[in-house]
């Protein structure tokens, strides 16, 4: 009997070890992913995490779509439901009535929550537009008519939150604008502009925030575009894309607010000494990004697009990638180096 009990105990121990190992393997599988998340129409990605789901928008050129998934890996598979956590589901919230044959009319959609309401900001016909939703990014009805954010030429609009004393709110609209060069008035530059936002369709005066003056911002065409707000330990940055998108030198740089002076004044911002994130490991044009927090709120991640075309691309072949943002001892962000496609990465904390 004693021998039988020992045998049973050993068998149970082996079974428990097997179950534990299987559970660990399943856990590991559930908490990893690989890039790219989207292999086509993956450009200009923007992602938020809300109540157990990631919500992803990218440029499709002819409409605006929202996809949701419980894991980053889930965006690789489109299903009719995400209840099992194994894939993503997608719905169209806006479609062009008369798209142009070349299909390049609408791009750079972003989801932002302002005072309890979700909005989708996007570019159409080189102007900035907004769709008004409701209290939830998926349940919202964005089916209304888009409204102009402002009347100027402008693309790639985003919302940056800056708590500055003396203002009624802390929302600022930042976009890529066309303005005369401050050094040579005969040259018009694709710059970054900023304006105080009273409502999603009511802005204060426009102020120039940055112009492409450095050599690494002027490859083929001088460009500043694709702004995105980044926040960490009471510091605020605006990441942006520099140089022409149809080059491998399309890359990410940053502006940092000094935390003291008026954010509408360009002197309150310091431009990075050079690009912070550039082509590597077979990925080119690694830019036009956004930032999102991990499900448990402890990490900040960079979501960006890249192409496998070594010459660069502005088209539908751009893919969606995600990578964690690390932090240097001096408090500055470290975006790292673009990872090779297919490399297995740890998923955001809390998945």
Q: Note whether 175 and 154 are within 8 A (CB).
A: yes
52 and 21 belong to one structural domain: no
4 and 143 belong to one structural domain: no
275 and 206 belong to one structural domain: yes
pLDDT of 14 reads 40
Whether 309 is covered by a domain: the verdict is: yes
**E strands, 243-334, in order:** 251-257, 269-271, 284-293, 300-307, 319-324, 326-327, 333-334
Task: Give the separation between CA 351 and CA 348, rounded to whole angstroms.
Answer: 6
42 and 103 belong to one structural domain: yes
Closest CA to 16 of 5, 24, 26: 24
17 and 86 belong to one structural domain: no
Over its length of 351 residues, how does the chain's per-residue pLDDT go in tens digits? 444 333 434 444 443 443 344 444 344 445 899 999 999 999 999 999 999 999 999 999 999 999 999 999 999 998 755 545 579 999 999 998 877 766 568 999 999 999 999 999 999 999 999 999 999 999 988 988 999 999 999 999 999 999 998 787 899 999 999 999 988 778 999 999 999 999 999 999 999 999 999 999 999 999 999 999 999 999 999 999 999 999 999 999 999 999 999 999 999 999 999 999 999 999 999 999 999 999 999 999 999 999 999 999 999 999 999 999 999 999 999 999 999 999 999 999 999
Whether 131 is covered by a domain: the verdict is: yes
Whether 113 is covered by a domain: the verdict is: yes
Whether 351 is covered by a domain: the verdict is: no
pLDDT of 99 reads 73
pLDDT of 209 reads 98
216 and 233 belong to one structural domain: yes
Helix (H) or strand (E) holding 12: helix 2-30
Whether 185 is covered by a domain: the verdict is: yes
25 and 121 belong to one structural domain: no
23 and 112 belong to one structural domain: no
Counting the structural domains of the chain, the total is 2
pLDDT of 51 reads 95
CB count in 10 Å sphere of residue 178: 14
Residue 270: domain span:
36-346
Q: How many CA atoms lie within 13 A of 257 on its CB side?
A: 24
82 and 23 belong to one structural domain: no
Q: Note whether 153 and 179 are within 8 A (CB).
A: no
Whether 105 is covered by a domain: the verdict is: yes
Supply the CATH number for residue 108's domain.
Answer: 2.115.10.20
CB count in 10 Å sphere of residue 86: 14
12 and 138 belong to one structural domain: no
Task: Give the separation between CA 204 and CA 167, rounded to whole angstroms.
Answer: 11
Task: Give the separation between CA 295 and CA 138, rounded to whole angstroms.
Answer: 17
pTM confidence score: 0.90
Whether 279 is covered by a domain: the verdict is: yes
1 and 108 belong to one structural domain: no
Return the structure tokens found at 266.
């360009």
Phi, psi of 19 (to 5 degrees): -65, -40
304 and 252 belong to one structural domain: yes
């Amino acid at each position: 009997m004693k021998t039988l009990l020992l045998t049973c105990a050993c068998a149970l121990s082996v079974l428990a070890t097997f179950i534990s190992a299987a559970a660990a393997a399943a856990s590991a599988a559930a908490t990893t992913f690989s890039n790219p998340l989207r292999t086509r129409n993956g450009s200009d990605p923007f992602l938020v995490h809300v109540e157990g789901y990631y919500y992803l928008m990218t440029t499709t050129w002819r409409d605006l779509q929202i996809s949701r998934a419980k894991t980053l890996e889930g965006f690789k598979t489109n299903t009719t439901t995400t209840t099992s956590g194994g894939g993503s589901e997608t719905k169209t919230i806006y479609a062009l009535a008369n798209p142009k044959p070349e299909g390049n009319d609408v791009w750079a959609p972003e989801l932002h929550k302002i005072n309890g309401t979700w909005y989708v900001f996007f570019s159409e016909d080189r102007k900035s537009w907004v769709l008004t939703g409701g209290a939830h990014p998926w349940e919202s009805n964005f089916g209304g008519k888009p409204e102009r954010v402002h009347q100027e030429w402008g693309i790639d609009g985003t919302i940056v939150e800056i708590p500055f004393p003396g203002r009624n709110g802390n929302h600022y609209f930042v976009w890529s604008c066309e303005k005369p060069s401050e050094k040579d008035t005969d040259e018009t530059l694709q710059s970054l502009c900023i304006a105080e936002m009273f409502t999603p369709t009511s802005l204060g005066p426009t102020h120039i925030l940055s112009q492409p003056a450095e050599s690494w911002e002027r490859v083929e065409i001088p460009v500043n575009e694709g702004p995105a707000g980044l926040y960490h330990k009471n510091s605020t940055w605006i990441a942006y894309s520099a140089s022409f998108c149809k080059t491998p030198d399309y890359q990410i740089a940053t502006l940092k607010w000094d935390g003291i002076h008026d954010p509408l004044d360009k002197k309150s911002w310091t431009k990075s000494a050079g690009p912070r994130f550039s082509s590597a490991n077979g990925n080119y044009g690694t830019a036009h990004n956004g930032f999102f927090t991990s499900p448990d709120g402890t990490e900040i991640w960079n979501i960006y697009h890249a192409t496998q075309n070594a010459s660069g691309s502005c088209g539908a072949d751009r893919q969606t990638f995600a990578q964690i943002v690390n932090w240097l001892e001096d408090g500055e962000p470290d975006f790292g180096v673009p990872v090779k496609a297919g490399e297995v990465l740890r998923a955001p904390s809390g998945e």
